[in-house]
Amino acid sequence: MSQYRIFNSEDAIAYAREAAQLGPDMILQGAEIGDGNLNQVFRVCQLGEATGWIVKQALPYIRCIGESWPLTRDRARIEAEILLQHGQSCPEFTVAVLHQDASLSAMLLEDLSELQVWRQALLNGQHFADAPVQLGKYLAQVHFHSSDFCLDYQAQRAAQTQFANPKLMSISEAVYFVDPFCDHERNNVAPGIRNDAERLWADQPLKIRVAKLKHDFRCKGQALLHGDLHTGSVMVAAGKLKVIDAEFGGYGPMGFDVGVLIANLLLNLCSQPSSSAQRQRIKDVQAFWQSFNRQFLLLASQTADPALAEPSYIAAFLRQVWQDALGYAGCEMIRRTLGVAHVADIDNIADADQKIVSQRHALALGRTLIMHADQLNDAQLEKIALACRPQC
Amino acid sequence: MSQYRIFNSEDAIAYAREAAQLGPDMILQGAEIGDGNLNQVFRVCQLGEATGWIVKQALPYIRCIGESWPLTRDRARIEAEILLQHGQSCPEFTVAVLHQDASLSAMLLEDLSELQVWRQALLNGQHFADAPVQLGKYLAQVHFHSSDFCLDYQAQRAAQTQFANPKLMSISEAVYFVDPFCDHERNNVAPGIRNDAERLWADQPLKIRVAKLKHDFRCKGQALLHGDLHTGSVMVAAGKLKVIDAEFGGYGPMGFDVGVLIANLLLNLCSQPSSSAQRQRIKDVQAFWQSFNRQFLLLASQTADPALAEPSYIAAFLRQVWQDALGYAGCEMIRRTLGVAHVADIDNIADADQKIVSQRHALALGRTLIMHADQLNDAQLEKIALACRPQC
């Protein structure tokens, strides 16, 4: 079984049987359970069991669009390598890759069915108090271990080359920094916020800030990013957290991952009519950032190079990561409101006026984060986030 | 002729005959003429001619040290590819690669014997008024054509991978950012400035600035750098200029090339007892920077992405390149004074006191550039450069 074909359930079962060495006698059942935009995902279980293994397979095109948008299957190999690397840096919070097969564009993953997608938990109003802190630890670990604080020149250059992911990251470049800032055909702009979108497309100072963020996304190869760290890429349960879905990963600025996660918490904030729920999201952002900051400082202070281990150097470095993060958070908020891919937090709002308020809030807060990234600290975020909410 | 061996003159002639398709009847003579630290260089000419072809060959070790410091021969292939790439971007000012042979670690170059090395010209007190302007044009061309102003995401990532040069650039990292800022065994510190060196090694604020420059050298992959753009890598004649020796090239911050060139002009300034010669070097620096700035602005303003083409974005981008350049210039001045490789401008000074003054001048100016990179413009450079000269 080595020639690529698009898996059906039987293929997924056969691959899982071989990859997990389950033996010919075990009776297995499998079903496609994927809800993502890109790939097929199967759960394969022993008959009568609810939990088993996950088979993830890349198609030669983008699943939600179809064969008209071809996309390299090699993304499956790259994703598996990134997850394995992140798993070495932070096994506690990274989904385990049990097997990968580059020719089938498939991998076998641990089944996390006792966990739920964090975005869904937030939509349900469930609060996982540990998640922001755990995620901060995760990100500090995976960033630190792929950065110049940990790797020497040759090892880091080799990693930058090994994890080059030009096809997928060029999609990120387009959907984060190009499409949402012009009247692009890929955009998905609700009629009720068309005027807001047009004002934003004419906003030259904003676009110049975004140009700098785009430049850094491409040229600032600080760490091996997850590349798509929204609340849908995080699975949670009481005291447990696992990060999945790293196909957009590759070297880039640390602030990108930090900012995308912050933005998704703030998008949830924008979707909340209650100010207490809004405040909780701010607390989540602060807990995430402080956890990342604390953990990174701890790791970096053990760096062999005494200049890099100097607390004032690390502090200045982390200040810059925070500034970058606010800029990228702003881009994520805007692109999730005007671009091709929205978030359920806001799209699911039934009340039309309420939805427009949330979308305007997201645009205004996104713009503010980009324009004032160099002036805001995490304590000021609550005031700013609430002040950006438009009056109904 | 495809198996590697260390060339003697006969081998160099045979290689040149084959590579330049000279035919068996042409009578050729060849001699080793290299004065560099790393490679062998032969001039091969037709009998009775002074000019012919240059054969450059990498040894499996560093030539000036010997077999005890092995170094990948693959550097010859990388250098040839970089020169060819730069030659496409700026044929006027890049030495022409006529042929390359990766298995022999050799390349055939145009013979520039009618030109002289710019450092030697400066040592002789000869003034080539066009050189700074030409070099600014050269650098703007080669940087622009390998940057995000010109290449799309995938093309730039492919170039970053193609031109990865980890062995040589890790040497640069060590000799620029590590050795000179500690009491390293590779350093070459004259007894007369030992106290100055020790003060610098204890200078924590300076070392933190250098840590940031080191980080950016590794992580800020903006353009395909020359990587070693000192005045010994530039050949000049009336109205003519060619850049040679790109073995340390690879992706990095544009400010690195700009800064290394500025530093070498300022090191010459430090070697000059006469204030009029000092002022001329400042004028050279200003002419170089203004030429680079003007040419880059011109090229960048034609970028397809309207945000990148915005004059205020390009201006802010170039301000950052200048700031980076001053930092890297400072590192180059310090490492050429305390590190393993000095410059003839200062090392050749016969008078011992005068030499110490020049070395102290270089250290003080280097430190000032690093510490005040974000506050200095090119007009202020004269005042700062002269103020850093110690009293005899």
Contact flag A208-B310 (C-beta cutoff 8 Å): yes
Which residue do the tokens 């097997």 mark? A99
Domain of B267, CATH number, reads 3.90.1200.10
Whether B127 is in a domain gets the answer yes
* Of the residues B93, B110, B127, the one at which a domain ends: B110
Tell which residue, B220, B180, B213, has the closest CA to residue B340.
B180
A248 plus A300 within the same structural domain: yes
Domain of A28, CATH number, reads 3.30.200.20
Residue A266 has pLDDT above 70, yes or no: yes
B 311-370 → A contacts, CB under 8 A: 312-313, 316-317
B160 plus B84 within the same structural domain: no
Q: What is the dihedral of CA A262, A265, A266, A272, to 10 degrees?
A: -170
Split at pLDDT 50, 70, 90, the class of B66 is: confident
- For residue B72, CA distances in Å to A351, B105, B141, B174 come to 66, 10, 29, 17
Residues of A in contact with B208 (CB under 8 A): 307, 310, 312-313, 316
Question: Pairing relation of β-strands B97-101 and B66-70?
Answer: unpaired
CB A187 within 8 A of CB A180: yes
A286 plus A335 within the same structural domain: yes
A218 and chain B in contact, CB less than 8 A: yes
Whether A1 is in a domain gets the answer no
A331 plus A258 within the same structural domain: yes
A 168-207 → B contacts, CB under 8 A: 169-170, 173, 178, 181, 204, 207
Nearest to B156 among A157, A208, A218 (CB): A218
Residue-wise pLDDT for B200-232, tens only, equals: 999 999 999 999 999 999 999 999 999 999 999
Split at pLDDT 50, 70, 90, the class of B67 is: confident
A343 plus A219 within the same structural domain: yes
Split at pLDDT 50, 70, 90, the class of A1 is: low
A268 plus A139 within the same structural domain: yes
Residue-wise pLDDT for B138-189, tens only, equals: 999 999 999 999 999 999 999 999 999 999 999 999 999 999 999 999 999 9
Q: Which tokens sit at B130?
A: 């066009």
Residue B381 has pLDDT above 80, yes or no: yes
A320 plus A192 within the same structural domain: yes
As a whole number of angstroms, the distance between CA A11 and CA A28 comes to: 12
Contact flag B214-A181 (C-beta cutoff 8 Å): no
Q: What is the dihedral of CA A152, A153, A158, A159, to 10 degrees?
A: 60
Whether B4 is in a domain gets the answer no
- Counted residue by residue, chain A has a size of 392
Split at pLDDT 50, 70, 90, the class of B289 is: very high
A89 plus A124 within the same structural domain: no
Domain residue limits at A101: 9-110
A141 plus A286 within the same structural domain: yes
Nearest to A153 among B158, B170, B212 (CB): B170
Q: What is the 3-state secondary structure (H, E, C) of B127-189?
A: CCCCHHHHHHHHHHHHHHHCCCCCCCHHHHHHHHHHCCCHHHHHHHHHHHHHHHHCCCCCCCC
Overall average pLDDT of the A191-210 stretch: 96
Which residue do the tokens 């975020």 mark? A381
- The residue of chain B with its CA nearest to that of A252 is B219
CB B370 within 8 A of CB B331: yes
Contacting residues for A148 by C-beta, under 8 A, at least 6 apart? A156, A222, A308, B214, B215, B218, B219
* Of the residues B56, B84, B110, the one at which a domain ends: B110
Q: Which tokens sit at B291?
A: 């030429």
How high is the pLDDT of residue A15? 97
A78 plus A42 within the same structural domain: yes
- For residue B110, CA distances in Å to A113, A195, B92 come to 66, 61, 13
How high is the pLDDT of residue B1? 62
Residue A265: phi, psi to the nearest 5? -70, -40
Which pairs count as long-range contacts for B126-130, CB under 8 Å and 24+ apart, including other chains? B127/B280, B128/B236, B128/B237, B128/B238, B128/B241, B130/B239, B130/B241
Residue B392 has pLDDT above 80, yes or no: no
Q: Give helix A166-173 / helix A204-219 axis angle, nearest 10°.
A: 170
Whether B378 is in a domain gets the answer yes
Tell which residue, B86, B129, B123, has the closest CA to residue B239.
B129
Residue A124: phi, psi to the nearest 5? -80, 0
- The residue of chain B with its CA nearest to that of A167 is B154
Contact flag A153-B166 (C-beta cutoff 8 Å): yes
CB A78 within 8 A of CB A56: no
- For residue B98, CA distances in Å to A143, A360, B22, B114 come to 44, 60, 13, 18
3-state helix, strand, coil in chain B (%, to 5): 55, 15, 30
ipTM of the complex: 0.93
Residue-wise pLDDT for A240-265, tens only, equals: 999 999 999 999 999 999 999 999 99
Whether A86 is in a domain gets the answer yes
Overall average pLDDT of the A218-246 stretch: 97
How high is the pLDDT of residue A392? 58
- The residue of chain B with its CA nearest to that of A158 is B166
Number of domains in chain B: 2
